[in-house]
Amino acid sequence: MKFRAKIVDGACLNHFTRISNMIAKLAKTCTLRISPDKLNFILCDKLANGGVSMWCELEQENFFNEFQMEGVSAENNEIYLELTSENLSRALKTAQNARALKIKLTNKHFPCLTVSVELLSMSSSSRIVTHDIPIKVIPRKLWKDLQEPVVPDPDVSIYLPVLKTMKSVVEKMKNISNHLVIEANLDGELNLKIETELVCVTTHFKDLGNPPLASESTHEDRNVEHMAEVHIDIRKLLQFLAGQQVNPTKALCNIVNNKMVHFDLLHEDVSLQYFIPALS
Amino acid sequence: MSENELDTTLNLKCKLGMKSILPIFRCLNSLERNIEKCRIFTRSDKCKVVIQFFYRHGIKRTHNICFQESQPLQVIFDKNVCTNTLMIQPRLLADAIVLFTSSQEEVTLAVTPLNFCLKSSNEESMDLSNAVYSEMFVGSDEFDFFQIGMDTEITFCFKELKGILTFSEATHAPISIYFDFPGKPLALSIDDMLVEANFILATLADEQSRASSPQSLCLSQKRKRSDLIEKKAGKNVTGQALECISRKAAPRRLYPKETLTNISALENCGSPAMKRVDGDVSEVSESSVSNTEEVPGSLCLRKFSCMFFGAVSSDQQEHFNHPFDSLARASDSEEDMNNGSFSIF
């Protein structure tokens, strides 16, 4: 198993650092999947994560100007690693004004992802910083649990409002109740509702717009104003929103009535999918 | 020390709580703008240090802080005979420090005549398989002065280094580092126009058993430490209490007898040699020996001793002859305005 990659472009490096920061906010431990043309950050829907799952994908070409990998075997040309997300984001943080960043898989006492940064400095000599991030190699037999989640046919698909606004609303709501209802319809309306014995709070977002439906036929007869809803744990939504430091290029929300909510974001060229299951 | 003894050279060594002093000098901006004069003197009859601020319009603010007398030990450490000397702007070193995660207890400094490398201490990362191991190389040309007589790798307390760098950034003077081999203390020295500060840090001694598993390393450390405790406990304790700073456990007071036997015991640990101060005072020092408690279950113990040297006025001679002029005079006398030479310790 081999992996080495290099980033020299400052913008790419910053973007990669931002992605890594986002992942660190969304998942404490995650799986990094390395394949010949992609990198994925994966969180699978185990009970430990509260049923939440995440799938983040980026095309390696868009970031690395050098990328070599050799998977477990020829037929399975992939590498699955488990790491503590914060370790990677902290290591990348030191690469702010770097001339170059190299990442490679190494084995120093234990398997590591070595992040090596060449920093620009005042003098002629540059500073070299290396971080050895301990990782765990995930064996082949567990790979099946870490595949791209199947996105079920949503009942409603809607564009999200400005995430910062959504986040501040949800943050305040968290103080009142842990149980949040997200509902949306095909008329560009999204509501966030919480309900307790004493009070009921609803925030309405209008004119959001809906993406064109995949299959027109099934929804022809549907009343456009009919709301699809899902009850979720507000903290999971908040964690998701808190991870989005930058407003995404595209943000979509898919609701499967009473089953789950699926967020589909695009940060420039990096796609992030986040699934929050309904409260049972 | 009474206020009447003007002719004798007086030397008061005392301790003041930082928590008492910090709030007094808190708002630097407002102090600089509004205060015309500041007087610091002692009233030994009441065991108090008095700090007075004189504002405009005759307003005077007085703080009385109790002090404790202390007999600090003096460290004998000649930084000038160290084979390795470095001088660097503290800002540059502080940048390197940022890389290390804050949970890092110790950091290792490895030098060769061409290279300077700061890295996570090996011991720790072996225990916690989740810890990131970091290394930073700084080119020798970033240093104002770079003289390495001997390739070496020394390990010392990271927290102390961070604190010292924060302090030194305030002075704008470069920081000088003097060291030799593992076990021998490391000195960090700042020499500004007004302030000279020396910090002596103990370094981890190079154990023979270091090559073997961490477990055995810690056992041998444990053994040594318990020897040390025994030696200290066995003596008749009459000396002053040494303040202890312990990183993992609650602070613990040691009561060493100030004899030479103590020195040898401490030397085994790789801490700087300490000698009873008799007369010759070139630096007022306050020492703190840290000795961690044996935390049950913890594998690695630290036996660091840290010495914190006081900052003294750079004009040594004047200070020596009239060490506490402002303290000795009666408070109603107008002449004792020794401006400038605070003794911060």
* pLDDT tens, position by position, B205-262: 876 434 333 333 333 333 333 333 333 333 333 322 222 232 333 333 333 333 333 3
The nearest alpha carbon in chain A to B126 belongs to A109
Say how far apart CA B91 and CA A18 lie, in whole Å: 26
- Do A123 and B139 count as a contact with CB atoms less than 8 A apart? yes
Q: Residue B3's pLDDT band (boundaries 50, 70, 90)?
A: very low
Query: What pLDDT band is residue B329 in, cutting at 50, 70 and 90?
Result: very low
pLDDT band at residue B123, thresholds of 50, 70 and 90? low
Specify the pLDDT at position A221.
59
What is the C-alpha radius of gyration for chain B, rounded to an integer number of angstroms? 22
Which comes out higher in pLDDT, residue B42 or A83? A83
Tell me how close the Cα of B164 comes to any Cα of chain A, in angstroms.
22
Q: Determine which of B126, B136, B144 to mutate to test the interface with A (most A C-beta atoms within 10 Å).
A: B136
Which has more pLDDT, B258 or A215?
A215
How far is the C-alpha of B271 from the C-alpha of B265, rounded, in Å? 9
Q: How distant, in Å, are the alpha carbons of A111, B32, B125, B230 from that of A108?
A: 6, 54, 11, 40
Are the Cβ atoms of A84 and B130 closer than 8 angstroms? yes
Q: Chains A, B: CB contacts under 8 A, how many?
A: 57
CATH code that applies to domain B82-202: 3.70.10.10
Contact A255, A154 (CB under 8 A): yes
Interface probe for B, chosen from A129, A135, A137 (most Cβ of B below 10 Å), is: A129
> Could you say which of A127, A128, A131 has the minimum Cβ distance to residue B132?
A131
Ranges A22-26, A236-240, B27-31: which has the least confidence: B27-31
A73-87, B13-27, B152-166, B319-333: the lowest-pLDDT one: B319-333
Q: Which residue of B has its CA nearest to A130?
A: B135
Q: Collect all residues of chain B within an 8 Å Cβ-Cβ radius of residue A122.
A: 92, 142
What residue spans define the domains of chain A?
1-143, 154-275
The residue in chain B having the minimum alpha-carbon distance to the alpha carbon of residue A84 is B130
- The ipTM is 0.79
**A275 in helix, strand or coil?**
strand
> Averaged over A159-179, what is the pLDDT?
93
Q: Do the first three CATH levels of A1-143 and A154-275 match, i.e. the same topology? A: yes
Lowest mean pLDDT among A94-108, B106-120, B216-230, B241-255: B241-255
For residue B259, give both structure tokens: 């004899």
pLDDT at residue B76 greater than cutoff 60: yes
The pLDDT of residue B138 is above 60: yes
| Contact between B132 and A132 using a beta-carbon 8 Å cutoff | yes
**Does the distance separating the beta carbons of B140 and A90 come in below 8 Å?**
no
CB A150 within 8 A of CB A254: no
Chain mean pLDDT for chain B: 63
Greater confidence (B310 vs B59) lies with B59
Contact A181, A233 (CB under 8 A): no
Tell me the residue length of chain A.
280
pLDDT tens digits, residue range B18-50? 888 888 888 877 878 888 888 988 877 778 888
Q: Do B131 and A109 touch (CB under 8 A)?
A: no
Fold adopted by A1-143: Proliferating Cell Nuclear Antigen (3.70.10)
Report chain A residues whose CB lies below 8 A from the CB of B133.
Answer: 108, 112, 131-132
Q: Which DSSP symbol is given to A184?
A: E
Nearest CA in chain B to A133: B132
Q: Calculate ∠ Cα A91-B104-A104, nearest 5°.
A: 30
Binary contact (B134, A133; C-beta < 8 A): no
Q: Lowest mean pLDDT: which of A124-128, A131-135, B139-143, B161-165?
A: A124-128
Does A216 have pLDDT greater than 50?
yes
> Topology of A154-275 in CATH?
Proliferating Cell Nuclear Antigen (3.70.10)
Picking from A83, A113, A130, A136 by the largest number of B CB atoms within 10 A of its own CB, the best residue to mutate is: A130
Q: Compare CB distances from A134 to B92, B99, B130 and report the shortest one's residue.
A: B130
Q: State the nearest Cα–Cα gap between B122 and chain A, in angstroms.
A: 11
Contact status, residue B293 vs residue B188, Cβ threshold 8 Å: no
